[in-house]
Amino acid sequence: MKTLLLTGFEPFLKFTVNPTMKIARELHGEIIGNYKIHSEILRVDFASSGSQLLTHIERIQPDAVISLGLAGGRYKITPERIAINVKDGDVDNEGNKPTDEAIRVDGDDGYFTSLPIREMVNRLQESGLPAAISNTAGTYLCNNVMYEALHYADMNQPNMKCGFIHIPASHELAIQHGGIPSWSHDDLKKGISVCIEVLGSDES
């Protein structure tokens, strides 16, 4: 049995709940395909989210890492293609607001995901769930942790598959927030389970 580190994020900005937190918590300990899931929740903090993720990787020694983030306003489940070496954007939960900064001053400009994102999108759509590859994870915390995981894998563990999946808002969040498209929690969770299944089948 292999181990998957699955991360979600805490709420941030105007989003009073983060559906990725609930999904990660509910899938903790589950077995999907040949992966046992170990879930952790990350802070929305430019100064500590990356190191938090790397600490979990070193402690858990997973075979693969999937991080989840909310993309409030997106309509589909969107596995991300690339992480870039940039920190820039809205204020985080600790009040930091970097502008045009590098995540790692000596790091590569970017990293492509090592997850089977095309197969994930195909299988999501076959399962009746709208999905598309996204070509930008932005420059906020989601890009930040995706970059850190891929940088770590590149340096230390090239066989560890890593990447990031953005999901739309849940109905619960949309009711509180107002103007964003939303999915049922069950469909969001099913979508992530489908992606994990694909990860396993990709390796067999």
Interacting residues with ligand PCA (CB under 6 A)? 9, 12, 18, 20, 44, 69-71, 138, 140-142
3-class DSSP state of 29:
coil
Closest CB 144 distance from ligand PCA, rounded Å: 7
Sheet with strand 161-167: strands edge to edge: 31-32, 35-42, 2-9, 64-70, 161-167, 78-79
Closest CB 167 distance from ligand PCA, rounded Å: 8
The answer to whether residues 23 and 68 touch, using CB atoms and an 8 Å cutoff, is yes
Q: In this complex, which beta carbon is closest to ligand PCA, that of residue 41 or of residue 60?
A: 41
Q: In this complex, which beta carbon is closest to ligand PCA, that of residue 138 or of residue 168?
A: 138
Q: In this complex, which beta carbon is closest to ligand PCA, that of residue 33 or of residue 103?
A: 103
Distances (CA, A) of 65 to 13, 115, 173, 186: 25, 9, 26, 22
Q: In this complex, which beta carbon is closest to ligand PCA, that of residue 63 or of residue 86?
A: 86
Q: Residue 80, Cβ neighbours under 10 Å: how many? A: 25
For the annotated catalytic residues, the residue numbers are 80, 142, 166
Tell me the DSSP string of 127-181.
Answer: TT--B--BS---SSHHHHHHHHHHHHHHHH-TTSEEEEEEE-EEHHHHHHH-SS-
Residue nearest to ligand PCA according to CB distances in the complex: 142
Q: In this complex, which beta carbon is closest to ligand PCA, that of residue 17 or of residue 54?
A: 17
The tokens for 29 are 């300990």
Strand partners, 112: 82
The answer to whether residues 202 and 113 touch, using CB atoms and an 8 Å cutoff, is no
Closest CB 117 distance from ligand PCA, rounded Å: 16
Closest CB 69 distance from ligand PCA, rounded Å: 4
The answer to whether residues 66 and 115 touch, using CB atoms and an 8 Å cutoff, is yes
Closest CB 21 distance from ligand PCA, rounded Å: 8
